[in-house]
């Protein structure tokens, strides 16, 4: 995909941030200023990147319509209602389902490569999938906040008459735009994610048991690690970012407990997208058999991966590097064939006796 892209960057001190780059690679200055306020507030790197992705969507849609937002505001004019409606409409769908193959700078050449036409045809015939209502609402709020910020930023440089006209137009237009933000009910349960049933949990654990004949992984270490991943997710209900951020030092060596800690922008974490904890630090108690399985993995399987010794993370890839979110997602998909969509944190953990029984003989 060409055009405006949300990019992750990492500073020498380990801090992660995001920038919006325009066609050609240069960052969008106004977006950088806007994202800086989230950084100053100490917002998580993944939250900042999510905002940056919304800004990328906004700029792509405007570029697709031939609108230069900054130039428009510098003339004391705000976005029109049809232009805002276009943004509201795009906010309903996954970015991958919106076609930007011919996107360039506003006003650029209309010459389009034949390969892009073929790609666009594939997009048109495929089913366009909507995002959740909560995601749509979040996108619209970020868009409204950004264009309001930009109107005030540019307006401060304009003569008084243009500044007043821009302020009036933007206030009226944004009022109508924000009215399109869909309500998100906290009580809505239809279509919400649910935890696996006991039968599905048992089936999953049988399939991914290290000694299972239908285990989808071939290498012994990967089998042990992925089995432990699923056991810990089921036993604790933790999020995948919390699991992948877990360090050996977070385990209690005397009691069957582990600590889930926030480590935003950890310099020792080599992953470009750092898995992290969304909630406050907390302590989780495990069943003794599960804790023994964790130490067995550390002492008899992880220990054999020499490159892993220089990293504190509990869950590592077979090359020793801390396991990435992408690799974890691929493994979960491989494990969940024929089962409802698997996820980490959903509701209550399943720290039940039937889960403990599956630990016997594994290791």
How far is Cα 335 from Cα 215, in angstroms, rounded to an integer? 8
Higher pLDDT, 344 or 328: 328
pLDDT tens-digit readout, 55-99: 999 999 999 999 999 999 999 999 999 999 999 999 999 887 665
How far is Cα 32 from Cα 17, in angstroms, rounded to an integer? 10
Residues 202-213, mean pLDDT to the nearest whole number: 89
Closest of 180, 184, 165 to residue 81, by C-alpha:
180
CATH superfamily of the 198-357 domain: Intergrase catalytic core (1.10.443.10)
How far is Cα 233 from Cα 225, in angstroms, rounded to an integer? 12
Closest of 33, 10, 26 to residue 18, by C-alpha:
10
Closest of 233, 258, 248 to residue 355, by C-alpha:
233
Residues 182-186, mean pLDDT to the nearest whole number: 83
Taking the model in full, what pTM does it have?
A: 0.65
The contacts of residue 135 (CB under 8 Å, 6+ apart) are none
Closest of 65, 87, 61, 194 to residue 140, by C-alpha:
87
| CB atoms near residue 207 (< 10 Å) | 19
Using alpha carbons, list the distances in angstroms from residue 94 to 127, 129, 283, 301, 361. Answer: 11, 6, 36, 40, 44
How far is Cα 86 from Cα 71, in angstroms, rounded to an integer? 19
pLDDT tens-digit readout, 282-305: 899 999 999 999 999 999 999 999
The contacts of residue 182 (CB under 8 Å, 6+ apart) are 133, 136, 137
pLDDT of 151 over the 70 cut: yes
The three-point CA angle 123-126-132 to 5° equals 95
**Domain boundaries of the chain, sorted by first residue:** 5-178, 198-357
pLDDT of 189 over the 70 cut: no
């Amino acid at each position: 995909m060409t055009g405006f892209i949300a990019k992750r960057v990492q500073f020498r001190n380990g801090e992660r941030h995001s920038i919006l780059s325009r066609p050609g690679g240069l960052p969008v200055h106004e977006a950088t200023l806007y994202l800086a306020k989230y950084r100053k507030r100490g917002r998580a790197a993944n939250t900042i990147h999510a905002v940056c992705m919304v800004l990328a969507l906004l700029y792509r849609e405007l570029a697709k319509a031939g609108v230069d937002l900054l130039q428009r505001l510098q003339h004391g004019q705000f976005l029109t209602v049809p232009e805002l409606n276009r943004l509201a409409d795009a906010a309903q769908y996954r970015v991958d389902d919106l076609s930007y193959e011919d996107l360039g700078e506003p006003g650029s050449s209309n010459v389009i490569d034949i390969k892009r036409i073929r790609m666009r045809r594939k997009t048109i015939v495929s089913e366009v999938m909507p995002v959740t209502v909560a995601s749509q609402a979040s996108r619209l709020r970020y868009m409204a906040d950004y264009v309001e910020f930009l109107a005030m930023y540019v307006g401060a440089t304009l003569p008084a008459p243009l500044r007043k006209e821009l302020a009036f137009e933007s206030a009226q237009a944004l009022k109508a735009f924000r009215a399109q933000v869909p309500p998100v009910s906290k009580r809505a349960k239809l279509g919400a994610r649910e935890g696996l049933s006991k039968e599905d949990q048992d089936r999953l654990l049988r399939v991914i048991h290290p000694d299972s004949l239908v285990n989808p992984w071939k290498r012994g270490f990967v089998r042990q690690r992925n089995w432990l991943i699923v056991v810990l997710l089921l036993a604790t209900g933790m999020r995948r970012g919390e699991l992948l951020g877990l360090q050996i030092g977070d385990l209690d060596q005397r009691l069957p407990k582990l600590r889930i800690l926030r480590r935003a922008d950890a310099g020792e974490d080599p992953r470009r997208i750092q898995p992290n904890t969304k909630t406050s630090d907390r302590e989780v108690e495990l069943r003794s058999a599960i804790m023994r399985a964790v130490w067995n993995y550390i002492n008899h399987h992880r220990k054999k991966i020499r490159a892993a010794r220089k990293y504190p993370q509990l869950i590592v890839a077979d090359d020793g590097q801390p396991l990435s979110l992408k690799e974890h997602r691929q493994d979960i998909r491989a494990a969940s064939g024929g089962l409802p969509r698997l996820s980490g944190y959903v509701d209550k953990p399943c720290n039940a006796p039937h889960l403990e029984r599956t630990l016997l003989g594994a290791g």
